[in-house]
Structure 1
Amino acid sequence: MTITSSTPTVASIAARMERLPTSRWHVKVRTLIGVVTFFEAFDQLLVASAMPVLIKEWGLSTGQVTLAITSGSVGMLLGALVSGWLADRVGRVRMVALGVVITGLASLAIAFAPSFAWLVVLRFVQGLGIGGEVPVAATYVSEIAKAKHRGRFVLLYELVFPAGLFTATLVAAWVVPNWGWRALFVIGAVPALAIAFMQRGVPESPRWLAAKGRLAEADQVVTRIETEVSRTAGTLPEPAPATGPAAVEPRGTLRDLVSGVYLRRTVVVSALWFFGYFVNYGITAWLPTLYTKVFHVSIDTALHYNLWTNAAGFLGCLTVALVIDKVGRRWALATGLAGSAAALVTLGALGAVSASQVAVWASVAAFFVFATNVTLYLYTPELYPTRSRALGCSMGGVFNRAGVILGPIVVGNLVSGGASSATIFAMLGGVALAGAVAALFAVETRGRTLEQLSPDLK
């Protein structure tokens, strides 16, 4: 049975979304969004896999390597900030589409880059697209999920991101030695083609439409969703009594993120984004180069070691997706960062004396820190009201990218300054430990609706 409210409100739209059982419709939409997110992740890590070859082909210095890695991250930072602001005004689906098109076209252009300077510029543009798509897509998936089992539903979607990272290293391990680095970026242009399919199958978020005052449109979208869900799920349960705002919410602003209960949430989650991604990219962005420059292994071997690390990271993401609704967000975040800290400090204490030793312990660290970071894509949208949810996610994306930028820069400076590998990994372990402490102050969100988690600001 479908129910169309004769007088829809913000609260009734949310209640109708909450009463929907997870169905083929949910899985279909999650998959369509996931396809483009997969290729965003794929594009993000290609430069790290191509870097050992580029160092030889263009004679790059350590500073140039750092610039090539961080230029995309700077673009992602700006893309995340702007896209969140726009997504709260023009819609989630439009911003996801725009981000993917920018990423795909920039990747194709990188394949024909004639010089290092062009590579840096195009990586920045590509970063704008990746940074714009990822947090908004996470916002959208959270808004179509119901409170019960929302953690597993969202994190199973988020698995596409580490899957994209893993696939990038897998493809690179075969493509780079046989076809060269430029072929990688041609492959990375695929998401621009996938966008046409996504737009036809993904409706705009009903929660966002209602929050913007487009209640009749939100009512029509929910009615279509109810009809499709009922075909496979049968008679739908009655909506629970509506909770949350009954009236249209005012336009969200940056002030929302630092007012009332949201100030603590923003401070804690921003710290978690920064520490988690500082460690993540401090490890992964430099590993192929460390293997070849410090331990003098072949490019093939370096790429295969890097593949192990990303495979372990994917396994960590899968593990946390299966347990998150049982253990809660705070425990998962604290455990992930603490486990990563333990692995990295152990590697530092052992001296990081061989490439194989680094590969093993870096993979253990990746298992934990990847699990932490994927959880943040679930956790951050739960902390903010609909009117500023995408902006809140994008603010997390800004601190994410700050960590992504500074992690490789700090590691690069230590490498060029002659620091030992043991010192580098011990430093990263200390940063992860600071993140684990910050996680202890996180608000638990398990099992509560988005409306229950987001009190009005008066």
Structure 2
Amino acid sequence: MDLTMAMGTRAQASWWAEVTPEQRRTLLAAWAGWVLDAFDFTILLLVLGNIAGTFGVSLVAMGAVITGTLFCRLIGGVLVGTWADRVGRRLPLMVSIIAFSFFELLSGFAPNYSTFLILRLLFGVGMGGEWAAGTPLAMESWPQRSRGIASGFLQGGWPVGYLLATIVYFVVFPMWGWRALFWVGALPALLVLYIRRRVPESPVWLARREKLRREGRSDQVSLLRLFRPDLIGTTLHAFLVMGAMMFSYYAIASFWPTFLSTELHLTVGQKTLFLVLLNLGSLAGYWTAGPISERLGRRTTLVLFAIVGLAFIPWYALTLNHTQVLIGGILEGAIGVGLWGVAPAYLAERFPTAARGAGPGAAYHVGAAIGSFTPTLQALFHRGGMSLGQSIGITIAMALVALAIVVAAGPEPRGRVFSAEA
């Protein structure tokens, strides 16, 4: 027993020991960018009803704000991802963080619904760019054999951002209202100072640039590269995988806070507790899914988590029992949301270096565009006579079934070596 424990300890130490300080700083910066991206986006979800009341619009109209924001993520993901393949990962990451922080700040000053909608669309562009630049920077900088662990940690920044948003909501909203939440959301811009001073460029991207310089040539525009015959199958399949994952995530994230308020009639404190525990479950899932995918593979892990996630839907969406919803929310966070811990490694390994900005950026945000219709569909189901919980449950079930089928039909990307060759 002692020998086994000692061997396990040495194995754990070995993968961590090979990680350099520069790699740790890079992963931390990409993680922090994703935390703050999530923080700024989640603020909107927590106060949908309040903003609708201020501007005198319906929940369907507010669902359109979410849909528009997520669709504009596609623009940011594609443009910034393509730019990141051309100029490197650092600069596009910094510009994206500044952009979404700026439009988050302005959203708090919006005088009417139309202005608010336009500002959220512009926010979506910056939000999409952050992931498209930050993910390849982190994945290309990290050692191959522990890439799944880094993937889970990186994507786990989202529930941390959600948790921060719920805590700030609890403190700020009762005293200063919804507008002050968006003003606080401008703070992520300060992260750019750390990235500029402490985070190096992707070594894989630099090696690719040097190889091209020696050969006296340049890469094709990476967005166009995605649709060449050798890569178009990968591109379209990745679009479908991310579409199912995004549809699933926004099925729980978009109106679940509203469900807690309007159908469970929770107080602000109770609602905050439920959301905190949901996201603690999600965080555990992210950090578990990534390492599991190093053993079982990315594909098997995604399919397994999707199937198990179906079992918990009645617990958090089809009942008004507070205890069941609380337990079900934690379990769904760990499984149905936690499966996202595989996403950064899965997408980075599906695409070559020359298109690792545009490929994952486009796939992730085409998925967001597909998922952007989820809140509007849920609102229409609700208007048609379903409870809000029922509309949440049926859309999550649709998404998880689709995800299991689509992922199972694709290849296993685990173990791809990142190099300057492609």
2:266 paired residue among 286, 293, 297: 297
In 2, the alpha carbon distance for the partners of 1:427 and 1:50 equals: 22
Identity of aligned residues (%): 24
Q: Which amino acid aligns with 1:390?
A: G
CA distance in structure 1 between the partners assigned to 2:211 and 2:417 by the alignment: 21
- Mapped partners of 2:101, 2:391: distance in 1: 38
Given candidates 260, 272, 277, the residue that maps to 1:308 is: 277
2:205 match: 208
* 1:27 to 2:24 alignment: yes
Alignment of 1:103-118 (within 5 A): 103-118=100-115
C-alpha spacing 1:304/1:404, structure 2 compared with 1 (3 Å): farther
1:122 — aligned with what? 119
Say which is worse superposed, 41-50 or 109-118, in terms of deviation: 109-118
Deviation at 1:259, TM superposition (A): 4.1
Equivalences for 1:391-406 in 2 at 5 Å?
A: 391-406=358-373
Partner of residue 445, structure 1: 413
Match of 2:236 in 1: 267
| Structure with max Cα Rg | 1
Q: After TM superposition, give the deviation of residue 308 of structure 1 in Å.
A: 2.3
For residues 270 and 118 of structure 2, the distance between their equivalents in structure 1, rounded to whole angstroms, comes to 30
* Structure 1 position 152 matched with structure 2 position 149: yes
Please tell me the root mean square deviation across aligned C-alpha atoms, in Å: 2.6
Question: In the alignment, which residue of structure 1 is the partner of 2:348?
Answer: 381
Q: Which amino acid aligns with 1:66?
A: G
Taking structure 1 as reference, are residues 416 and 322 closer, same or farther at Cα in structure 2, changes over 3 Å only?
A: same
Q: Which runs of 5+ in 2 are unaligned?
A: 1-16
Name which of structure 1's ranges 111-120 and 246-255 shifts more when overlaid on structure 2: 246-255
Give the C-alpha shift of residue 355 in structure 1: 5.0
Matched, 1:414 2:414: no
SS at match of 2:312: helix
Indicate if the aligned counterparts of 1:46 and 1:184 stay in contact, CA closer than 8 A: yes
Shift of 1:332: 1.4
Segments of 5+ residues of structure 1 without an aligned counterpart are 1-19, 218-245
Within 5 Å, which residues of 2 pair with 1:32-431? 32-213=29-210, 250-260=219-229, 262-344=231-313, 351-420=318-387, 421-422=389-390, 424-431=392-399
Contact 2:257–2:275 under 8 Å retained in 1: yes
SS of 2:356's equivalent in the other structure is helix
Instruction: Report the TM-score when normalising by structure 1.
Output: 0.81
Of 319-328 and 375-384, more deviation after overlay is shown by: 319-328
2:402 is aligned, of 424, 434, 455, to 434
Asked if structure 2 preserves the Cα contact closer than 8 Å seen for 1:414 and 1:424, the reply is no
CA distance in 2, matches of 1:264, 1:247: 30
Q: Which amino acid aligns with 1:330?
A: R
- Does the aligned pair in 2 maintain the 1:166–1:314 contact within 8 Å? no
CA distance in 2, matches of 1:48, 1:445: 34
Conservation of the 8 A alpha-carbon contact between 1:72 and 1:127: yes
CA displacement, residues 286-344 of structure 1 (integer Å, 9 cap, x when unaligned): 01212223333334433332222222111211211333322221111111222222222
For 1:423 and 1:101, how far apart are their aligned partners in 2? Answer: 36
Deviation at 1:129, TM superposition (A): 0.8
- The number of residue pairs the alignment matches comes to 406
For 1:100, give the aligned amino acid: I
Flag the 1:377–1:115 CA change in 2: closer, same or farther, 3 A: same
Is the alpha carbon distance of 1:106 and 1:423 closer, same or farther for their aligned partners in structure 2, counting shifts above 3 Å?
closer
Q: What letter matches 1:25 in structure 2?
A: E
Q: CA deviation at 1:169?
A: 1.9
Separation of aligned partners in 1, 2:40 and 2:178: 13
SS at match of 2:414: coil
Q: State which drifts further: 311-320 or 362-371.
A: 362-371
Question: 1:390: Cα distance to partner?
Answer: 0.7
Tell me by how many angstroms 1:48 deviates: 0.5
Instruction: Return the letter of the residue paired with 2:390.
Output: A
Q: Is the 8 A contact 2:49 2:59 kept in 1?
A: no
Q: Assess if the C-alpha contact under 8 Å between 2:65 and 2:117 holds in 1.
A: yes
Cα gap change, 1:300 to 1:54, in 2 (>3 Å): farther
Distance 1:40 1:139 in 2: 16
Report how far residue 260 of structure 1 moved: 4.9
| Counterpart amino acid of residue 397 in structure 1 | Y
Query: In structure 2, do the counterparts of structure 1 residues 248 and 324 end up closer, same or farther at CA, with 3 Å as the change threshold?
Result: farther
